[in-house]
């Protein structure tokens, strides 16, 4: 009876121990061992020794049988890319709105605390001068759509400029009246007035008769001269002059461009655009112009960078944002579905799996296998122990009956 129990215990221990050692020898030792230069058998363990072959076998199984092109395409077709992108985007935007984040915050989140904003300013500023804009073409394009020969001239005169011209006329009317006085004092005008008086008297010879030859034209002119000067100093006359000049100005502005003498729309546009484009080109190349352009770009970029995300996705911008988002997501979805097959052919799944397994440390592979098959290996150990016990009992019975 004692022998039976002893053999059963010894058999169980031997069965469990040998199985435990066998499992360990699958992995241990990790490296080849030598004594006096002679390789010790069964070193390294089976799995470390055959890790390359195992990697090839696993990669072939995954690449050919598990993740083949058909399986991957089926998974992609079942995946609603647009819906998932929308969920991710909406969730992220909600976070930005709650945190009152700006575009600058968004850039810092993706690129870290960098000088990307400043780099963007410099890039835009540099591009303006490197692109060498054809300002003449740009200005012409605007003028062609703006200038119409059937429009009144006044349409192209700013209200402030029109008001300024009227004010100048008002302010200069006394000077104009004084100029007329000076003209009246000139010898040419004096001669013409006297000649007009003389001709008038001659034309009325029947009326004046013999007395006409006795009338002194110079005396008449000298008598009229002070009155002529006084007329120009009268405020009503000055008001009359001002109104007449303004009326002429308004008549001119109310005319159509086509009514201008020798009007050529194309020539006018070329003339205006030439002056404007040349002025723009000279200004932006000047020191003050470069500084002004740089400051303006900086202000625009900073204003855009400090715009809150909420403003971009709310109000009138909400529809625009959704439209842009849907267009982008549709393009991404179309690209994925249409290019998936081509992309998969370029991806060597077997190679990726094999290289990844090769990167694994043998200790990690051991832990991975133990974690996956730990319960099963323990069950095998127990089973081997049970079998050892049974073998011990059988050997004890055999020994007893053979002894008899």
Asked if 400 and 17 count as a contact pair (C-beta separation under 8 A), the reply is no
- CA quadruple 25, 29, 32, 33: dihedral positive or negative? negative
One domain, residues 124 and 186: no
Cβ atoms of 312 and 65 within 8 Å: the answer is: no
Clarify whether residues 156 and 251 are in a common domain: yes
Residue 212 clears pLDDT 60, i.e. is over it: no
Q: Is residue 293 part of a domain?
A: no
Q: In terms of domains, do 241 and 177 share one?
A: yes
Tell whether 329 is covered by a domain: yes
What pLDDT, in 10s, does the model give residues 144-171? 777 777 788 888 788 888 888 889 988 8
Whether residue 58 sits in one domain with residue 112: no
Same structural domain for residues 322 and 251? no
DSSP 48-114: HHTHHHHHHHHHHIIIIIIS-HHHHHHHHHTS-HHHHHHHHHHHHHHHHHHTT-BHHHHHHHHH-S-
Q: Which residue has the higher pLDDT, 329 or 215?
A: 329
Q: Is residue 138 part of a domain?
A: no
Residues 210 and 224 in one domain: yes
What's the angle, vertex CA 220, arms to CA 216 and CA 225, rounded to 5?
A: 145
Measured CA to CA, the distance from residue 244 to residue 14 in angstroms comes to: 130
Q: What is the pLDDT of residue 77?
A: 66
* Same domain as 70, residue 24: yes
Query: Is residue 391 included in any domain, yes or no?
Result: yes
> Based on the domain organization, do 18 and 31 belong to the same domain?
yes
pLDDT of residue 79: 63
Cβ atoms of 132 and 237 within 8 Å: the answer is no
The whole-number pLDDT of residue 372 equals 78
Distance CA 303, CA 120 (A): 13
- Encode pLDDT of 291-328 as tens digits: 888 888 889 988 888 888 888 777 777 777 777 777 77
- Asked whether residue 214 carries a pLDDT value surpassing 70, the answer given is no
Average pLDDT rounded to a whole number, residues 4-17: 76
34 found inside a domain: yes
Let me know if residue 237 belongs to a domain: yes
Q: Is the domain of 23 the same as that of 103?
A: no
What confidence tier does 100 reach under pLDDT thresholds 50, 70, 90? Answer: confident
- pLDDT over 70 at 181, yes or no: yes
Helix (H) or strand (E) holding 138: helix 135-146
Q: Is the pLDDT of residue 63 over 80?
A: no
User: Is 36's pLDDT higher than 60?
Assistant: yes
Buried b or exposed e, range 1-16, using 16+ CB within 10 angstroms: eeeeeebbebbbebbb
Report the C-alpha gap between 56 and 355 in whole angstroms.
9
DSSP 3-state of 256: strand
Contacts of residue 337, defined as CB under 8 A and 6 or more positions apart, other chains included, come to 76, 77, 81
Residue 375 lies in a domain: yes
Last residue of a domain, one of 215, 230, 255: 255
CA distances from 28 to 38, 139, 327 (A): 18, 82, 57
| Claim to verify: residue 172 and residue 221 sit in the same structural domain | yes
Total domain count for the chain?
Answer: 3
Q: Is residue 123 part of a domain?
A: yes
Q: Which domain holds residue 392?
A: 2-78+350-403
Could you tell me if 165 and 218 lie in one domain?
Answer: yes
Task: Average the pLDDT over 195-210 and give the result.
Answer: 64
My answer on whether 49 and 99 are in the same domain is no
């Amino acid at each position: 009876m004692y022998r039976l129990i002893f053999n059963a215990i010894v058999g169980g221990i031997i069965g469990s121990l040998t199985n435990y050692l066998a499992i360990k020898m699958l992995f241990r030792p990790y490296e080849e061992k030598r004594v006096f230069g002679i390789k010790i058998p069964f070193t390294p363990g089976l799995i470390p020794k055959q890790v390359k072959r195992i990697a090839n076998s696993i990669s072939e199984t995954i690449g050919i049988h598990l993740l083949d092109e058909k399986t991957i395409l089926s998974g992609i077709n079942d995946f609603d890319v647009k819906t998932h992108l929308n969920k991710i985007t909406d969730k992220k935007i909600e976070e930005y709105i709650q945190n009152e984040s700006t575009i600058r915050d968004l850039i810092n989140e993706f690129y870290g605390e960098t000088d990307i904003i400043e780099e963007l300013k410099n890039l835009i500023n540099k591009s303006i001068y490197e692109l060498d804009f054809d300002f003449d073409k740009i200005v012409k394009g605007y003028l062609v759509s703006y200038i119409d020969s059937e429009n009144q001239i006044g349409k192209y005169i700013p209200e402030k400029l029109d008001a300024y011209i009227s004010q100048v006329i008002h302010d200069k009317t006394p000077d104009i009246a004084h100029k007329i006085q000076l003209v009246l004092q000139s010898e040419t005008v004096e001669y013409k007035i006297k000649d007009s008086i003389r001709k008038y008297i001659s034309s009325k010879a029947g009326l004046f008769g013999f007395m006409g030859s006795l009338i002194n034209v110079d005396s008449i002119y000298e008598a009229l001269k002070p009155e002529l000067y006084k007329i120009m100093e009268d405020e009503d006359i000055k008001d009359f002059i001002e109104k007449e000049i303004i009326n002429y100005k308004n008549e001119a502005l109310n005319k159509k461009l086509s009514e201008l003498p020798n009007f050529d729309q194309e020539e006018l546009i070329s003339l205006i655009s030439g002056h404007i484009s040349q002025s723009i080109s000279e200004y932006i190349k000047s020191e003050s112009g470069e500084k002004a352009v740089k400051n303006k770009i900086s202000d625009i970029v900073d204003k855009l960078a400090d715009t809150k995300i909420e403003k971009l996705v709310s109000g009138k911008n909400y529809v625009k944002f959704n439209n842009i988002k849907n267009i982008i997501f549709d393009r991404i979805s179309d690209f994925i579905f249409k290019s998936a097959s081509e992309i998969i052919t370029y991806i060597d799944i077997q190679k990726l799996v094999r290289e990844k397994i090769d990167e694994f440390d043998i200790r990690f592979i051991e832990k991975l296998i133990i974690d996956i098959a730990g319960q099963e290996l323990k069950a095998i150990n127990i089973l081997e122990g049970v079998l050892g016990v049974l073998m011990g009992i059988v050997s004890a019975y055999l020994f007893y009956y053979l002894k008899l």
